[in-house]
Amino acid sequence: MIDLEKIKRYIVNGEVVHKGEFWRRGRKLSQRLEQIVIESKLNLRDIAFKYSAKIEEGTQCGPLYREHLADVIKGIRNTKRYVKAIEESWGLPIETIRSIYREDKEAEKRMEKLDSNSIQEFAIWYKNILNSKKETYNIIKIANIEDQNVSEIAI
């Protein structure tokens, strides 16, 4: 039986909602991926939770696991449904995410840390991407509503 006291996230209107404060995980992956986690408000555990809840009864697929999502980012795994979950959640192509991860890990091996200005610039760049995706989604949604209204009037 599931203990509802321990559940810290829920899905409301297709979005993951945190009970209490948002967990800022993702620091182990890389500095810039941490910014992606912060701005998207979805860490790997949240993505696994969200897409495990989306499983349809007719499919053979099981739940998604955080560890497997990390392997996809690292380039170790290439499972389609994991790739799709990451791309849809963070709004970036998997190759971009992997290149960010590789660049940050190479810099980490050289004992280099990104300065706060470059992290800030990256965060602004990523916010702009998220905002443009939201605007595009809203435009498509409005167009679909207008098409539906036109077809209702025609009937």
The model's pLDDT over 53-109, given as tens digits with 9 standing for 90+, comes to: 766 655 657 788 889 999 999 999 998 999 999 999 999 999 999 999 999 999 989
The tally of CA atoms less than 13 A away on the side-chain side of residue 116 is: 0
Encoded amino acid at 100, one letter: I
**3-state SS assignment for residue 34:** helix
pTM above 0.75, yes or no: no
Kindly list the domain boundaries of the chain, sorted by start residue. 9-115
Q: How far is CA 83 from CA 48, 56, 58, 73, 123, in A?
A: 12, 18, 21, 8, 22
Distance CA 66, CA 19 (A): 19
The model's pLDDT over 27-47, given as tens digits with 9 standing for 90+, comes to: 577 888 888 888 888 888 888
Range with the poorest average pLDDT among 66-70, 94-98, 113-117, 141-145: 141-145
